[in-house]
Amino acid sequence: MNQPPQPKPRAGTGQGTTVFVALVLAAALSRVALAQPDGVEPAARRLLKGSTDFLARQQKFSLDTESSLEVVSASGQKIQYDHTAKVSVQRPNKWRAERTGEIVDQIFYYDGKSLTLHNPNGKYYATIAAPSSLEEMLDFAREKLDVVAPAADLLYTNAYDILMQDVSSGFVVGKGVVDGMRCDHLAFRAPSTDWQIWIEEGSRPLVRKLVITSLEMLNAPQFTVVVKKWDLKPKFGAATFSFKPSKQTQKLEFVRKDLDALKAK
């Protein structure tokens, strides 16, 4: 393969700059390696608990995210897919999630009684009766329908307990900046995943970035989500959480995992 022409180094750049950058990175990585303790640091617990408790107290909020999902091919090559999402929540039982990207185009509506999936491009939708609370609906969607909602773990009022389940170690990496926001950067390890989380400093300890690394899969693919915007005082209209199909929209049925398992017996 022909290589593109390489730019000539400007005055003051070159091997010296490369060595300097390498030394800075090595020093940073050494600090991380030395800082990683056995077990979970109290400071990491405190920062994560403060963030999850803060979001649990919010009765209405919305967030806009950008995500990247890595998929490993049969040859071991990593392929990355990007998508955006907008999530709207009104506790205790209203939720909407719009996802758009290379491999997904869908809108979920939950109004406290039913869960609806709408595919605007394909012009079809499916509706099913759902439990009457947000947490129960998210459990139902994952366990019965194999549907995992965007940033779902963060939406539970007991998000801290869910995130820390089976965690064997965790520590504060240091300070970081995500999309212009100064954050506390934390890292945790569980049997099947490593995960990192960036939490905004100050009076709004909101999650700004989350990286999950799958340790049990070939080449350890990652899922990354960056929260581009939080709105803690959103204005929701009457149609935000409900769906009314047009005449051109075809109705389909959800495929339930539990019914498939019963049929297989």
Give yes or no for a contact between 114 and 130, defined as CB atoms under 8 angstroms apart: yes
Q: How confident is the model at residue 122 (pLDDT cuts 50, 70, 90)?
A: confident
**Structural domain of residue 200, as residue ranges?**
53-254
pLDDT at 113 over 90: yes
Domain for residue 12, yes or no?
A: no
Q: What is residue 104's DSSP assignment? A: -
- Torsion from C-alpha of 45, 46, 49, 52, nearest 10 degrees: -120
Assess if residue 117 is contained within a domain: yes
User: For residues 216 and 219, what is the distance between their CA atoms, to the nearest angstrom?
Assistant: 9
Q: Three-class SS of residue 178?
A: strand
Q: What is the mean pLDDT of residues 218-241?
A: 94
Between CA 244 and CA 262 the distance in angstroms is: 32
Q: What is the mean pLDDT of residues 54-73?
A: 96
Q: Does the pLDDT value for residue 6 go beyond 50?
A: no
Peptide bond into 92 cis (omega under 30): yes
Residues 94 and 81: their CA atoms lie apart, in Å, by 28
Whether pLDDT at 230 is above 80: yes
Let me know if residue 32 belongs to a domain.
no
**Mean pLDDT confidence for 211-221:** 91
In a domain, 11, yes or no: no
Q: Is residue 1 part of a domain?
A: no
Report the domain count for the chain.
1
163: part of which helix (H) or strand (E)?
A: helix 159-164
To the question of pTM greater than 0.85 for the whole model, the response is no
Residue 59 within a domain: yes
Q: Which of the four pLDDT bands, split at 50, 70 and 90, describes residue 259?
A: low
Residue 75 in any domain: the answer is yes
* pLDDT tens string 20-46: 445 445 545 545 554 555 799 999 999
Per-residue confidence band for 130, with pLDDT thresholds at 50, 70 and 90: very high
Weakest-pLDDT range from 100-104, 128-132, 179-183, 191-195: 100-104
What average pLDDT is seen over the chain?
87
In sequence order, what E strands does 190-260 have? 193-200, 207-214, 222-231, 250-252
Indicate whether 20 belongs to any domain: no
Rounded CA-CA distance 134/139 in Å is 9
DSSP sequence for 115-165: EEEEETTTTEEEEEE--SSHHHHHHHHHHHH----TTHHHHSTTHHHHHHT
Residue 263 has pLDDT above 80, yes or no: no
Write out the H or E segment, with its range, that includes residue 95: strand 94-101
Residue 151 pLDDT class (50, 70, 90 cuts): confident
What CATH number is attached to the domain comprising 234?
A: 2.50.20.10
